[in-house]
Amino acid sequence: MAGETLTTSGYIQHHLTNLTYGLNPETGEWEFAASASEAAAMGFWSINVDSMAWSIGLGAIFLLLFIKAGRSATSGQPGPFQNFIEMIIEGIEEQVLSVFDHKNDLVAPLALTIFVWVFLMNLMDLVPVDWIPELALLAGVPYMKIVPSTDPNITMAMALSVFALVIYYSIKCKGLGGFLSELSFHPFPVSKYTAPFLLPINFILELVTLIAKPVSLGLRLFGNMYAGEMIFILIAVMFSANLALAILGGALQWAWAVFHVLIITLQAFLFSVLSVVYLSQAHDADEH
């Protein structure tokens, strides 16, 4: 791939461009974008087909693995696969119990789903950057990004889904009045004398805090994974320079891949735990 592009910047841009389908404003037709500029021109209603396909596919793999583990589970001596699945479930369960003090049968399965799904999406970053894009080119597909968590559309969609649950349970557990009171009477105590001045300030501060939750949740995952992918791409560029840099690039690639295992696991864990924390806050009924 690096040898087929004229410049390093062209190589990098190719690997950071999604396979986008949308309405081409120049032709007036729904089609796949032939370049990054065409993809940008398609606007909001375009769809990154590769991100959607890989995220859905990895979600299906997650379900199949856990269904297989559930059907083959035994009370006797479990095999390595069952031990591995049980270790993940028990680890997530312990984290949920330590953070979430309320009764809700949705939270633990949600935390498990988020952790495993995000981990699998992040794990795709360890696939060598040229392998699948090269195969896609041979099949006539111009672009192919295989790490869904490097697409802000995917990470923000997941974060907004969690945010929707936070709003739902905030209103369900506290009532609409209680939820609005929480936004209006914190962080500064309000009396009948200070209400005209402090209520608007409190509401703005709490609203910003509330909106910051999905923004930070989605952008944290995207930023870390995008940076990791960029480093892999920059290391791959070294292979097209000379033998010395190629050898150095190989060593750096292995070192970064080993370190990146920690990053992809940590990012999946943080996304899962913070989601539980936000849901726990939504269930907390404020005495004020």
Q: Choose between 46 and 78: higher pLDDT.
A: 46
- Among 224, 272, 275, 280, the one annotated catalytic: 224
- Among 9, 83, 216, 242, the one annotated catalytic: 216
User: Domain coordinates of the chain in residue numbers?
Assistant: 2-165+212-283
Q: Choose between 202 and 29: higher pLDDT.
A: 29
46 carries an active-site annotation: no
Axis-axis angle for helices 152-184, 49-72 (nearest 10): 80
Q: Residue 227 above 90 pLDDT?
A: yes
Cis before 200? omega within 30 = no
- Among 153, 161, 184, 220, the one annotated catalytic: 220
Compute, in degrees rounded to 10, the torsion defined by CA atoms 202, 205, 211, 215. Answer: -160
pLDDT-based confidence at 288, cuts 50/70/90?
Answer: very low
224 carries an active-site annotation: yes
Q: Residue 186 above 90 pLDDT?
A: no
Question: What mean pLDDT comes out for the span 165-171?
Answer: 96
Neighbours of 189 (CB within 10 A): 10
184 carries an active-site annotation: no
What's the chain's average pLDDT? 90
* DSSP secondary structure letter of residue 284: P
**C-alpha count within 13 angstroms, C-beta hemisphere, residue 97:** 6
pLDDT for residue 2: 42
pLDDT-based confidence at 3, cuts 50/70/90?
Answer: very low
Q: Residue 187 above 90 pLDDT?
A: no
pLDDT for residue 1: 47
